[in-house]
Amino acid sequence: MSGAWLLPRVYALAVLAFLVLPLLLCVLFSFTTGNSAAFPIPSLGLGWYGRLAESPQFRAAAWTTAQITLGCGTAATAIGLATALGLERLSRRAAVLILLTLCLPLMAPPLVLGLSLLTFFNFIGLKLGVTATVLAHLLFTLPIVTSVLYARLSTMDKAALEAARDLGASPGRAFVTVTLPVIGPSLIGCMLIAMALSLDDFVIAFFTTGSNTLSTLIWGMMRTTLNPGINAVGSCIIAISVVITAVAFKFTRYRG
Partner 1 sequence: MPPDALLRLDGVTRRYGDHVAVAPTDLSIQAGDFFAILGPSGCGKTTLLRMIGGFVAPSAGTVWIDGADVTRLGPERRPSGMVFQNYGLFQHMTVRQNIAYGLKLRREPRARIDAAVDEMMDLVHLRHLADRPAPQLSGGQRQRVALARALILKPKVLLLDEPLAALDLKLRKTMHGELRALHQAIGGTFILVSHDQSEVMTLADRVAVMDGGRIVQEGSPRDIYTKPADAFVSTFIGEANVIPGIRRGGRIDLGPDARLDHAGRDGPVNIMLRPEQMELDPPSGAPSLEASVVDLIFLGPFTHLHCALDDGVRLLVHLESRKLATFPAPGGRVRLGWNPSEQLVLDAP
Binding site residues, partner 1, CB under 8 A: 157-171, 173, 177-178, 181-182
Residue 164 beta carbon to partner 1: minimum distance, rounded to whole angstroms: 7
Say if residues 179 and 112 touch (Cβ distance below 8 Å). no
66 burial (CB, 10 Å; 0-12 / 13-18 / 19+) is: middle
Residues 6+ apart with CB under 8 A from 169: 177, 178
- Nearest CB to partner 1, comparing residues 3 and 168: 168
What is the number of alpha carbons within 13 Å of residue 91 lying toward its C-beta?
A: 3
- Name residue 32's beta-bridge partners: 44
Say if residues 200 and 184 touch (Cβ distance below 8 Å). no
Distances (CA, A) of 253 to 55, 69, 196, 246: 39, 22, 16, 12
Distance in angstroms (rounded) separating the CA atoms of residues 254 and 41? 40
Residue 148 beta carbon to partner 1: minimum distance, rounded to whole angstroms: 19
Q: Of 183, 192, 174, whose CA–CA distance to 151 is shortest?
A: 183
Residue 165 beta carbon to partner 1: minimum distance, rounded to whole angstroms: 4
Residues 6+ apart with CB under 8 A from 187: 77, 81, 149, 180
Distance in angstroms (rounded) separating the CA atoms of residues 119 and 66? 25
Residue 80 beta carbon to partner 1: minimum distance, rounded to whole angstroms: 22
Residue 250 beta carbon to partner 1: minimum distance, rounded to whole angstroms: 18
- Nearest CB to partner 1, comparing residues 56 and 168: 168
- Name residue 44's beta-bridge partners: 32
Say if residues 81 and 187 touch (Cβ distance below 8 Å). yes
Residue 155 beta carbon to partner 1: minimum distance, rounded to whole angstroms: 12
Say if residues 145 and 194 touch (Cβ distance below 8 Å). yes
- Nearest CB to partner 1, comparing residues 108 and 176: 176
- Nearest CB to partner 1, comparing residues 95 and 174: 174
- Nearest CB to partner 1, comparing residues 35 and 170: 170
Residue 105 beta carbon to partner 1: minimum distance, rounded to whole angstroms: 35
